Structure 1
């Protein structure tokens, strides 16, 4: 296999960002050779912009193309399971936008398929990458931060009527959820990436901002497996837009940059408790090498993983952890009870968190 992998992108919405931020900066690793979308005008627009001649309306055609190494799924969430399953079974490597699938049952099924699949699957959590988050992760993993005490995540974004003019948005059947699923899932993934697994969740969801089926405000209290406590809050009704993650450890306070859609890029605020801790951090981060943010680093590390030069930067297990939080959140809100994780097939929302009347 050539070291340059041929990519087919399915869905030309967020798929354009994958091209601009992920594949073009890694042109020595990937080449986009095909586009697939149900909208011919959108296909032609993106195809003309990037000089991609192969433009396909039928996803199934991609599965038979021997020269396509990677299928990148950028469709609305409701189509993810079928496409990921079919692409893996066709022997392709797969990239899939969040959410990977629409239930814990579905993600467990995908993880079973992965065990015998020829290709590798990488879900997208592009917010994990950049200098700020990478330095925070390095400090925590080195043991310098010490015991985790508490954390907060604030996802205060703004979505109004024009956003929901796209027909699949704001609907249970096609978006599979609201701010919890489509927006705060990114900062929540960063939080668990840095703070570890969640033990218990008490959450609430509400629809207060927009006339939509799904929620646009959420709040939760968490207990982590480490014993640390945390709170999560998100809304799509903010005037300004910020993503703020603040973590308090025994030896450091860590606070993210507040950029809503790229919190990992800029250096984060790292406050050491004393001079000894400061010196340890400075030694650890000496000779720091730049880590490009978002898709650029995620795609580069995906290429490394395919060729055995590292682990997948995001795995299906990471997606399961994110979807487990989503499932627990919806169950806790509807029952007004605390939910203990992990969740297995015995959980009442294992097959779907979507309300029965919307399935």
Structure 2
């Protein structure tokens, strides 16, 4: 039997999905001992639903629980930094929803704090999990796909006015960004996970769909370190919701499923250059074992990383890359200039990309 790790979940919104998809699907690996939320009614309901005895409205209560192995942070983005730092200082392992924090300076401080802690930190990038994405990753890693040429990443989602009725959404101070931070960040992470890190970006952002402070439409042109060229597009005003990666390599072209919230799932189209490449793919995948999807797969692999003292399946360095792309987008859009990577402490958006006087667009 695997070692059972104990969990405290903070935030009963997306936290419920972590319990249902990530922890209950991994029996024997995890046991949720405590839940925390400022809304006592929602807290009571979640605790009752899953028979969780410990419940609190005070985050610090969890830090004092010596029998908690993992603190799973599912709170609004603006409080992630302080909660991550406190949990790592307490020696806890940490899971945290996206966006991990709200600036490059914050993520660098988090990386340093993780280095001092006995705990491990895993950002949530659940769309990497599912047989479609995992097969594509294996083919690319094997070298069969060859040199990357071009790609497109589309995040066509819909958010209606009631979505922004939640007080912290749509505001720089609390959401820390718009479609780049809270929605497209998953698909952009998938691009870098499969095709590699960026070299430079030219980006545009706009607020066209809702009367909010942050952006809800973006378009960008990206050159990767490999030389591959990629276009990025996202909106929250689509009438049909899809997520799509279309990546052309020397020997294989990959097209993801179009499921907006399950990008990693099959079917992925994988078109080989010829029958020889197809035979190599068939041999590589001949003994394929199904991969648990979304949170189930990511939490399973995090358990292995903790128990075997390995690297988490998604790392703080990868979370930094996702935030670096966000910072580059905002800077490029405001200056109308191309931005080169990496972005270090001397970059104008290193400490913050939040504008001095945010304005809501008129409805």
**TM-score, with length taken from structure 1:** 0.98
In 1, Cα distance between equivalents of 2:86 and 2:116:
13
Aligned to 2:198: 198
Structure 2 residue 26 is the aligned partner of structure 1 residue 26: yes
1:117-172 deviation per Cα after TM superposition (whole angstroms, max 9, x unaligned) = 01111110111111000000000000000111000000000001111111111111
Residue by residue, what CA displacement relative to the aligned partner does 1:207-245 show, whole Å, maximum 9, x if unpaired? 000111100000000000000000000000000100010
Could you say what the CA RMSD is over the residues aligned between the two structures, in angstroms? Answer: 1.1
Q: How does 1:92-241 map to 2 (within 5 A)?
A: 92-241=92-241
For 1:153 and 1:96, locate their aligned partners in 2 and report how far apart those are by CA, in whole Å: 24
Query: For the residues of structure 2 that align with 1:214 and 1:95, how far apart are their CA atoms?
Result: 26
Counterparts of 2:115 and 2:311 in 1: how far apart (Å)?
Answer: 15
Matched, 1:258 2:221: no
Following superposition, the deviation at residue 310 of structure 1 comes to: 4.4
Q: Distance in 1 between matches of 2:56 and 2:310?
A: 33
> Structure 2 length normalisation: TM-score?
0.97
CA-CA distance at 1:309 after TM superposition = 6.5
Match of 2:72 in 1: 72
- Structure-1 separation of matches of 2:142 and 2:239: 38
Alpha-carbon distance in 2 for matches of 1:69, 1:252:
42
8 Å Cα contact 2:130-2:265 kept in structure 1: yes
**Comparing 73-82 and 310-319, the one that deviates more:** 310-319
1:294-309 map, 5 Å: 294-308=294-308
1:322-353 Cα deviation digits (max 9, x unpaired): 00000000000000000000000000110011
- Separation (CA, whole Å) in 1 of partners of 2:85 and 2:356: 24
Gaps of 5+ in 1: none
Cα distance in 1 for partners of 2:106, 2:149 equals 34
What count of residue pairs does the alignment treat as equivalent?
358
**Aligned 8 A contact 1:265 1:292 in 2:** no
Matched, 1:61 2:79: no
The secondary structure found in structure 1 opposite 2:25 is helix
1:86 equivalent in alignment to 2:67? no
Q: Given that residues 4 and 28 in structure 1 are in contact (C-alpha distance below 8 angstroms), is that contact kept between their aligned partners in structure 2?
A: yes
* Cα deviation code 1:166-201 (max 9, x no counterpart): 111111111001101000000000000000010000
Local SS of the residue matching 1:192: helix
Please report how far the alpha carbon of residue 311 of structure 1 lies from its aligned counterpart in structure 2 after TM superposition.
2.7
Q: Which runs of 4+ in 1 moved over 4 A?
A: none
Q: How far apart are residue 116 of structure 1 and its match?
A: 1.6
- Report the counterpart of residue 274 of structure 1 in structure 2: 274
